[in-house]
Structures are given as structure tokens and as C-alpha cells.
């Protein structure tokens, strides 16, 4: 994690999900990225650290990344931001739901978070970039990438999304949506060298990528 920001990486639930808290140390407001499994742990952590949850950011609409939204909203007054193409997956939460598009920025105190639309795992998958960090959800894992064999997945779009991530700066710190590796974060430059999926999209077309993922 590149400082100086407030940051917590919480591993929660039976699927090794990473739930993130990120915030602005000056204003003491923070965002939750992909609240799942245990809203009380998430809210208690932010509260104990002296932060107020103002935004909830969703990388994609799969159940294991959103199943604590309603419980969390019963405790905090926050807006929920999901890409428009995955909004159908979010429970009915009224005016708290705000859809976003790729390239949009969300302000959190003095912290500016950029939304990057990265379809493939789902149509509305997105990554969040801020202060030298890249929260990749289920688009990019350490040494791997998200599955593309779901009904709402698209291997060609995943190829294009991974290719766009591979064009970003080596110094960015990748923070994935699950703990599937011995490392909990890694520099993007390392992934460009060691992640065979990233190497494939850089050097080959979508057909080769489909072969790699077994489709």
C-alpha cells in the first residue's frame, strides 16, 4: 500500500474475500470496497480507527462481494457505487445506490478514487485506482485472473481489460479481491513478469487467451 492514506485489508468469510477500508486521514472519512460476510467486523474496524464510512464501492455484483451491503447500511449512512452494468445485482437500497461509469472519479475527503471499467468477469466489473494503488476485485489476482465461464462473463472482454491494466505503470500496487496467493499485494510490474495471463494478453490475441482459460 502506498501511503499516506488510511488503509485496512480484511480477510473475511469462507471464500477468502478481501474487504478493504480506505480513507482520508485528514477528514477521517473512508470507503468500504466490496463489503461481504460480516458487516459488524467492517463497521467496528472503521469505528475503532476513528473513521466514518461515507462510501461503499463495488468491484462487481457477485454475491460474495456484496452480501453485507444491506446490513452495513443499517448501521452507516453511505452511498453505494456500482458500475451501471452490474447494478441489477445490488439489493433494493433506494437512493443509496449510485451507478458509475468508467473514468468517473469519486471524492473521499481529499482522496480521489478513479473508476476503471474492466468487463470480463462480469459486464460491470471495475477496478479502483488511487494514490498509486489499484484495487482489482476479481479482474486481476496475484498470478491469476478472474473466471470467465459465468453467464455474465466474456473472455474477449477480459482479454481487453487485462491488456488495459498491463499498460498501466509498473509501480502501481495491486490489491485483489481474494486471498489466493501467499502475497496479499504486489507491484503491477511484478505481475507483468510473473502472471501468465497478463503475459498472454500482452503478446497474443483473444484466441490464445481463450485457450489459456480453457474456453
Q: What is the pTM of this model?
A: 0.96
| pLDDT value at 2 more than 90 | no
- In sequence order, what are the beta bridge partners of 100? 83
Per-residue pLDDT, averaged over 75-90, amounts to 97
HSE (side-chain half, CA atoms, 13 Å) at 19: 29
| pLDDT (tens digit per residue) in 99-135 | 999 999 999 999 999 999 999 999 999 999 999 999 9
Across all residues in the chain, what is the average pLDDT? 97
Share of residues in the chain with pLDDT > 90 (%): 97
pLDDT recorded at residue 3: 54
* Bridge partner residues of 114 (DSSP): 105, 129
Tell me the per-residue pLDDT of 31-47, one tens digit each, with 9 for 90 and over. Answer: 999 999 999 999 999 99
As a whole number, mean pLDDT of residues 64-81 equals: 98
Specify whether the CB–CB gap between 132 and 173 falls below 8 A: yes
- If pLDDT is split at 50, 70 and 90, which confidence band does 1 have? low
Whether the pLDDT of residue 61 is over 90: the answer is yes
| Cα-based distances in Å from 84 to 12, 80, 103, 141 | 26, 12, 13, 23
pLDDT value, residue 114: 99
pLDDT at position 4: 84
Domains of the chain, residue spans:
6-210
pLDDT band at 73 (very low <50, low <70, confident <90, very high): very high
CA–CA gap between residue 120 and residue 157 (Å, rounded): 5
**CA-to-CA distance for 150 and 167, rounded, in angstroms?**
26
Q: What is the 3-state secondary structure (H, E, C) of 33-86?
A: ECCCCCHHHHHHHHHHCCCEEEEEECCCCCHHHHCCHHHHHCCCCCEEEEEHHH
**Rounded distance between C-alpha atoms, residue 110 and residue 125, angstroms:** 25
pLDDT digits (tens, 9 = 90+) for 144-160: 999 999 999 999 999 99
Specify the pLDDT at position 144.
Answer: 97
Q: Which CATH class is domain 6-210?
A: alpha beta
Q: Which of 155, 154, 85 is nearest to 126 (CA)?
A: 85
Look at residue 211 and tell me whether its pLDDT is greater than 60: yes
* Tally of CB atoms within 10 A around 147: 14
Which tens digits make up the pLDDT trace of 171-194?
999 999 999 999 999 999 999 999
Chain Cα centroid distance, residue 95: 22
Amino acid at each position: 500500500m502506498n501511503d499516506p492514506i488510511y488503509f485496512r485489508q480484511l480477510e473475511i468469510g469462507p471464500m477468502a474475500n478481501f474487504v478493504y477500508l480506505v480513507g482520508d486521514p485528514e477528514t477521517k472519512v473512508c470507503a468500504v470496497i466490496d463489503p461481504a460476510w460480516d458487516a459488524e467486523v467492517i463497521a467496528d474496524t472503521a469505528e475503532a480507527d476513528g473513521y466514518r464510512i461515507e462510501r461503499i464501492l463495488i468491484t462487481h455484483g457477485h454475491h460474495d462481494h456484496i452480501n453485507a451491503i444491506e446490513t452495513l447500511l443499517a448501521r452507516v449512512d453511505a452511498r453505494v457505487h456500482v458500475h451501471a452494468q452490474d447494478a441489477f445485482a445490488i439489493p433494493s437500497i433506494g437512493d443509496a445506490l449510485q451507478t458509475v461509469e468508467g473514468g468517473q472519479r469519486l471524492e473521499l475527503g481529499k482522496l480521489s478514487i478513479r473508476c476503471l471499467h474492466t468487463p470480463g468477469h462480469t459486464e460491470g466489473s471495475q477496478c479502483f485506482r488511487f494514490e498509486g494503488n489499484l484495487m482489482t476485485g476479481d479482474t486481476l489476482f496475484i498470478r491469476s485472473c478472474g473466471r470467465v465461464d459465468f453467464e455474465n462473463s466474456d473472455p474477449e472482454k477480459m482479454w481487453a481489460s487485462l491488456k488495459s491494466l498491463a499498460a498501466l505503470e509498473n509501480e502501481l500496487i495491486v490489491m485483489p479481491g481474494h486471498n489466493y496467493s501467499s502475497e496479499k499485494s504486489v507491484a503491477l510490474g511484478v505481475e507483468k513478469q510473473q502472471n501468465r495471463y497478463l503475459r498472454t494478453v500482452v503478446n497474443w490475441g483473444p484466441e490464445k487467451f481463450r485457450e489459456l482459460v480453457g474456453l
